[in-house]
Amino acid sequence: MAQRTREDALSRERIVEAAVELLDAAGERGLTFRTLTERLATGPGAIYWHVANKAELLDAATDSLISDALAVDPTGSPEEEIRVLALGLFEAIARHPWLSTQLAVQLSRSPWGSVTPRIFESIGQRVSALGVPEATWFTATSALAHYIFGAAGQNAANVRVLDGVDRAEFLHAAASAWEDLDSGEFPFMKSIAGQVREHDDREQFLTGIDLILTGITAQGRD
């Protein structure tokens, strides 16, 4: 193979970039060392020169996207900044659905590795500015963070399923399926089926954030 020129030289950045593209295009199954070397026109050894292993590559891809979402300019009330932050993470995960699984895997591998502390720090700074007792900060931050990633993951999963399907049609079919459920076994799912038909994902997500914010300030008062 010809000598690489300065322009198409490999680098950790270019590898991570290509990995993100493959993940976006075909999910976690779309990223293998075969597809990656093909796209970068190189061999596995070249990639291992820049990156220790696949786990590190996935971590780097996750890190770069989460960092972008965490960069919120401080121009609002703590509540407002929390909403902006939450929505930014929600949308990053909607755009890159594989982030959801990847964050869970990364968390299980090293709970207080590089991503989690940065997320907690970012949310926690705003929580501590809410004026609630310091003893409640960690629980409050934790409730927000877990809700954000859980709800965003659920949404991302829906987005994946909806890929190429008409959204309204799908929701209608899903809601109808729930309404037809055995009311002995699934009375709750049956009762909320109607709401599903015409809800707005972002709006519903933010309603959840507000619910938790209400809990934080209410609990902070007793």
Partner DNA sequence: ACCTGAACACCGTTCAAGT
Q: Which residues bind DNA (CB under 7 A)?
A: 1, 3-4, 9-10, 31-35, 41-46, 48-50, 53-55
**Residue 46's binding partner out of its own copies, DNA, none, with CB under 5 to 8 Å set by partner kind:** DNA
Q: How far is the CB of 172 from its own copies (least distance, A)?
A: 14
Options 10, 120, 130, 201; binder of its own copies; rule CB under 8 A: 120
Smaller CB distance to DNA: residue 34 or 221?
A: 34
Q: Is 114 in the site for its own copies (CB under 8 A)?
A: no
Smaller CB distance to DNA: residue 31 or 127?
A: 31
**Residue 71's binding partner out of DNA, its own copies, none, with CB under 5 to 8 Å set by partner kind:** none
Task: Report the C-alpha gap between 123 and 187 in whole angstroms.
Answer: 36
Smaller CB distance to its own copies: residue 41 or 218?
A: 218
Q: How far is the CB of 149 from its own copies (least distance, A)?
A: 6
Smaller CB distance to its own copies: residue 10 or 189?
A: 189
Q: Is 60 in the site for its own copies (CB under 8 A)?
A: no
DSSP 109: H
Q: How far is the CB of 158 from DNA (least distance, A)?
A: 24
CB–CB of 40/18 below 8 Å?
A: yes
CB–CB of 38/89 below 8 Å?
A: no
The b/e string for 33-72 (b: 16+ C-beta within 10 A; e otherwise) is eebbbeebebeeeebeebbeeeeebbbbbbbebbeebbeb
Options 37, 42, 114, 158; binder of its own copies; rule CB under 8 A: 158
Q: Is 93 in the site for its own copies (CB under 8 A)?
A: no
Alpha-helix residue ranges (DSSP H) falling in 111-136: 115-128
Concatenated DSSP letters of 21-87: HHHHHH-GGG--HHHHHHHTTS-HHHHHHH-S-HHHHHHHHHHHHHHHHH-----S-HHHHHHHHHH
